[in-house]
């Protein structure tokens, strides 16, 4: 198994892309901790995921936490290291949307998306940076979006947060590179998750028409890209953006 002996932390890990990533990492041999935000979950989803990972023969821990809180990120990282005796992989996946055209967007809509998507990513990178530098080993993958590369009508906050993640990633890749830490982005296009199921049929059809392969991606498609980037096969890749979009960005 590619990740045998590795310990991973995934933010926003109980649903959608996060859940698929937790399982993909575990199947490759990693022990996995993940964060979740209680109000977003259907009852017991995080417990079900822990059981699934343990059934694969790996250790797993679910931690309820708000990624936008700087101090909580430090506590979560310390807790994972204490429980698993180490940490090698961070996947920043937690994210939200609060859509609206800019002339109607409220301050709360802007702040909440930036705080979770962009600040949350920074919080966890900051929390693991000292650990990864000291052990001279680490893999960080940040989940952005093709909308952070091209913009999206009605998503000024979301697109700005994801563009910020790309800029943040490239900077951190430069800062941590000499410590043998790889930092990359996976930028999904339209992926079939709980979030996209709430979209209208018109929006779904418009999105499919943009996709060269003519279909939505699956959470596992993104998870597989993450597994590649944290594996030794990608040891000479850093500061890059890997689109998983079926050609939607082209």
- Annotated active-site positions, please? 158
Residue 202 tokens read as: 């018109």
Residues contacting 116, CB < 8 A, separation 6+: 67, 68, 94, 95, 96, 161
Angle between helices 16-27 and 45-55 in degrees, nearest 10: 20
Query: What Cα–Cα distance (Å) separates residue 158 from each residue in 11, 117, 143, 151?
Result: 17, 8, 12, 9
- Cα(157)–Cα(148) distance, rounded to whole angstroms? 10
Asked if residues 100 and 109 have their Cβ atoms less than 8 Å apart, the reply is yes
**Residue 100 has what DSSP assignment?**
B
What are the E-state strand segments in the chain? 7-10, 31-36, 60-64, 89-92, 138-143, 181-188, 241-244
Helices (H), 85-146: 107-113, 120-135
């Amino acid at each position: 198994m590619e990740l045998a002996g590795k310990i991973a932390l995934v933010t926003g890990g109980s649903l959608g892309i996060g859940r698929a990533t937790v399982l993909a990492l575990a199947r490759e041999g990693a022990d996995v901790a993940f964060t979740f935000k209680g109000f977003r979950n259907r009852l017991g989803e995080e417990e079900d995921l822990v059981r699934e990972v343990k059934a694969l023969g790996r250790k797993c821990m679910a931690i309820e936490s708000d990624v936008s809180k700087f101090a909580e990120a430090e506590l979560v990282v310390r807790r994972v290291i204490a429980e698993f005796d180490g940490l090698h992989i961070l996947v920043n996946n937690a994210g939200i949307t609060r859509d609206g055209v800019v002339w109607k967007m409220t301050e709360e809509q802007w702040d909440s998306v930036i705080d979770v998507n962009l600040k949350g990513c920074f919080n966890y990178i900051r929390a693991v940076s000292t650990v990864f530098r000291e052990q001279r080993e680490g893999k960080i993958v940040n989940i952005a979006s093709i909308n952070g590369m091209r913009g999206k009508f009605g998503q000024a906050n979301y697109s700005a947060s994801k563009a910020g993640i790309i800029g943040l990633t490239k900077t951190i890749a430069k800062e941590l590179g000499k410590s043998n830490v790889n930092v990359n982005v996976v930028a999904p296009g339209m992926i079939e998750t709980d979030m996209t199921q709430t979209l209208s049929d018109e929006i779904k059809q418009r999105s499919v028409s943009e996709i060269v392969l003519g279909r939505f991606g699956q959470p596992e498609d993104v998870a597989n890209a993450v597994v590649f980037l944290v594996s030794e096969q990608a040891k000479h890749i850093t500061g890059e953006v890997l689109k998983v979009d079926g050609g939607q960005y082209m």
